[in-house]
Amino acid sequence: MFAISSMPRQKIVIYVAGLALSATYGFLAFQSSTLSTMDLLNFLGSYWVAAGILLICWFYHYERDIQPSVGDVILWALIFRIIGIFGSPVLEDDFYRYLLDGCVFVSSGSPYGIAPKELFNGNSLSAECQSALTWVNNPDLPTIYGPLLQYLFAFSHIVSPANINFLQIIVVVFDLILIITMSRLVSQRMLMLYAWCPLILKEIAFTAHPDIVGVSFLFCAFVMRFRQQHLSAAVLIALACTAKIFAFLALPFFLYRKGPKIWFTALGVLIALYLPFIIQGQTNMLVLGIFAERWTFNPILFDLVSILLSDLSARVLCLGLFVTYWCYYFYRYTTDGDQNRFPRMDWIFGMFFVLSPVVNAWYLIWLLPFAALRPSLWAWTASLVISLSYVSGLNLVESTLGAYQIDPYARTLQIGLICLALAFDYRKGRFKFSDKY
């Protein structure tokens, strides 16, 4: 008969951590699916307990210079995601927009150019879609999500109308594809750090943020590029760009010094996905412009710059600073070593978010797979403290803060801990160009 005492200690540690995390995520799933409003303290407590369990398990393996098995890491990652699917979105209402986009796309042929408020006084939507319409945020603005995501929203609606659980399954599948792809490149310890990360579980499995679709295509595109399969890489990076505009930050790495075939392939995929909506007269570009011009949430350096300059001047200056940094990095990268290696997309996305007026928690999904390739403390510290961005007027009872204002102490703690992690990484010499990948 199998006995726990006969298991190797390392295996016991993995299973104890897996069970403890399952209980923690299970508690979060139970709370989210049974309460009309998720309690902020319950969320933060669960999040930080999960992070603590993961870090203890990770340091156990790090101190002994051992690796967990890939099978165990992926098995528990799958279990955690199944638990998340049985839960409900936590402290988020963006999912109503995903469901409504699928409804509108299927019923009218395009999700673009239609603000939800235009549907309030009469529409042909099904009963399932009416609930999504009732609760959708920013109803005065049309959708902001890219064409590839819209096709996924429509597919989800066709299979299971206005059902967030099916959409959760779709995004989890993309996440698992990314994990399996990462397992061939990163150490098992770093794979565990990503696959069991509470930020990833919360934002993907629980809340169904579709950024993971673009991230998965982007990472797989770099894998194809690393293997010098440039045509496949061009298709994948174009798909990533049609999922979310963030992926355009990586596009030049795939086009630099490539022939017309690669350029036309990438352009062809972009046109193929955007053209049907362009013909109908609307895309997501107008709303993206409004978002870039007006929206502010959880900024880091932008907040400081905006004190000294007008809002518009601060946005232009921060954009200029980022473009300068990106050009410098691209120049260094293209003149220093093998150009098929992975660029430091964690640096690029990290700098972009530092200077951005908006830093939502799920944005960090874009940099964490790349942070798993090379050691750093700052990225994983950010994945922990970004949970404090939910300490806002929207989630605080009897708060004098505006709905999207974050508690000053929570913001200070976020920025302070990230700065300490950056200082630690700098002392360790982790901001040098690496040719490992």
Across 211-224, b (16+ Cβ under 10 Å) vs e yields bbbbbbbbbbbbbb
pLDDT higher than threshold 70 for residue 55: yes
Nearest to 222 by CA among 248, 252, 194, 254: 254
Query: What pLDDT digit, counting tens, does each position of 417-437 carry?
Result: 999 999 999 999 888 765 554
| Higher-confidence position of 51 and 38 | 51
| pLDDT over 50 at 382, yes or no | yes
Q: What is the DSSP letter of 405?
A: P
pLDDT for 434 equals 58
The better pLDDT of the pair 340, 99 is held by: 99
pLDDT in tens, 86-119: 999 999 999 999 999 999 999 999 999 999 999 9
- Per cent of the chain over pLDDT 90 is 82
Rg (Cα) of the chain, in Å, rounded? 22
Chain segment 345-360, per-residue pLDDT in tens: 999 999 999 999 999 9
In the numeric block, which tokens belong to residue 137? 């945020």
Q: What is the mean pLDDT of residues 213-227?
A: 96
Mean pLDDT of the chain: 93
Q: Residue 2 has what pLDDT?
A: 47
Q: In this predicted structure, what is the pLDDT of residue 211?
A: 97
Alpha helices in 183-210 (DSSP H): 188-195, 198-200
Mean pLDDT over 34-47 rounds to 89
The alpha carbon dihedral of 171, 173, 175, 178 has a sign of: negative
Band (pLDDT 50/70/90 cuts) for residue 35 is confident
Could you tell me the sign of the dihedral formed by the alpha carbons of 107, 205, 392, 384, in that order? negative
Q: What is the pLDDT of residue 400?
A: 86
Mean pLDDT is lowest, of 76-80, 379-383, 394-398, for 394-398
Is the predicted pLDDT of residue 78 greater than 70, yes or no? yes
Residue 31, amino acid: Q
Q: Is the pLDDT of residue 7 over 70?
A: no
Predicted confidence band of residue 369 (pLDDT cuts 50, 70, 90): very high
CB 189 within 8 A of CB 62: yes
How far apart CA 375 and CA 142 sit, in angstroms, is: 40
Average pLDDT over residues 188-216: 97
Least Cα distance to 76 among 131, 14, 147, 126 occurs for 14
**Residue 1 in this model has a pLDDT that exceeds 50:** no
State residue 6's pLDDT score.
55
Q: Tokens for 275?
A: 């053209």
Contact residues for 256 (Cβ-Cβ < 8 A; gap 6+): 334, 339
- Tens digit of each residue's pLDDT (9 = 90 or more) over 261-311: 999 999 999 999 999 999 998 888 889 999 889 899 999 999 899 999 999
In this structure, which amino acid lies at residue 186? V
Task: Dig out the tokens for 104 from the structure.
Answer: 């509108």
Please give the pLDDT value at position 45. Answer: 96
Alpha-carbon span 381 to 368, nearest angstrom? 11
Question: How many residues does the structure list for the chain?
Answer: 437
- Among 210-219, 292-301, 392-401, name the most confident range: 210-219
Task: Kindly tell me if the per-residue pLDDT of 34 is higher than 90.
Answer: no
Which of 359, 376, 357 lies closest to 368 in space, CA to CA?
376
CB distance 199 to 361 below 8 Å: yes
User: 317 falls in which pLDDT band (50, 70, 90)?
Assistant: very high
pLDDT value at 145 more than 50: yes
Rounded CA separation 426/55 (Å): 21
* Percent share of the chain, pLDDT over 70: 97
